[in-house]
């Protein structure tokens, strides 16, 4: 009797170990991959439309989705090649976007310097002459003002302050 009980308990233990199932299913893998892919798609779209971003929030969300996908793939003992391809696409998009953001900031600074230089020269003139000059603002300075106004929401805080100060001064003349 003791031998039968031991054999039954042993068989039950082997059965439990043999029947061990994965925590995740194929549907979980498809969902995790789709979520990661959709996030990268949305990041790529956003990066094309807006030159400045909250990189820490974007990276944090990507890392969270990637971590989830990694867990699912490991649990299912599947190659993570698909995740690696998505990660490469993400990293390429981020590199390109950071380059675009850097160029945007350089362009903003160039426009601000153009306006500041013009304002320094103009503000030294007598008030009557200055009023004429402001009314007949040169085209490159007008382009800079227009560009900065159009892109105001994407400017750095420092650039926004400089722009507002110049616009305020122009309004006082």
Give the DSSP letter string of 133-145. Answer: HHHT--HHHHHHH
- Alpha carbons 119 and 20: distance in angstroms, whole number: 76
Residues 154, 50: contact at Cβ < 8 Å? yes
Lowest-confidence segment of 62-71, 99-108, 123-132, 147-156 by average pLDDT: 123-132
Among 106, 111, 100, 110, residue whose Cα is nearest residue 55: 100
Any idea how long the chain is? 173
Q: pLDDT averaged over the chain?
A: 82
- The mean per-residue pLDDT over the stretch 48-62 comes to 88
Among 5, 10, 25, 18, residue whose Cα is nearest residue 73: 25
Q: Tell me: the pLDDT tens digits for 123-162?
A: 776 666 666 566 667 777 888 888 999 999 888 888 899 8
- The mean per-residue pLDDT over the stretch 80-87 comes to 94
State pTM to two decimals.
Answer: 0.67
């Amino acid at each position: 009797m003791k031998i039968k009980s031991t054999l039954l308990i042993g068989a039950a233990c082997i059965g439990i170990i043999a029947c061990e199932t994965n925590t995740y299913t194929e549907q979980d893998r498809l969902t995790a991959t789709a979520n990661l892919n959709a996030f990268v798609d949305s990041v790529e779209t956003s990066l094309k439309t807006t030159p400045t971003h909250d990189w820490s929030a974007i990276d944090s969300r990507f890392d969270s989705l990637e971590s989830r996908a990694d867990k699912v793939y490991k649990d299912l003992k599947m190659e993570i090649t698909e995740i690696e391809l998505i990660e490469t696409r993400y990293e390429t998009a981020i590199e390109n976007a950071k380059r675009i953001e850097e160029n945007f900031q350089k362009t903003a600074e160039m426009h601000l310097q153009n306006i500041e230089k013009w304002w320094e020269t103009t503000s030294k003139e007598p008030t009557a002459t200055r009023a004429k000059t402001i009314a007949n603002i040169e085209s490159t300075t007008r382009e800079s003002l227009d560009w900065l106004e159009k892109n105001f929401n994407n400017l750095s805080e420092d650039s926004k302050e400089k722009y507002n100060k110049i616009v305020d001064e122009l309004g006082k003349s």
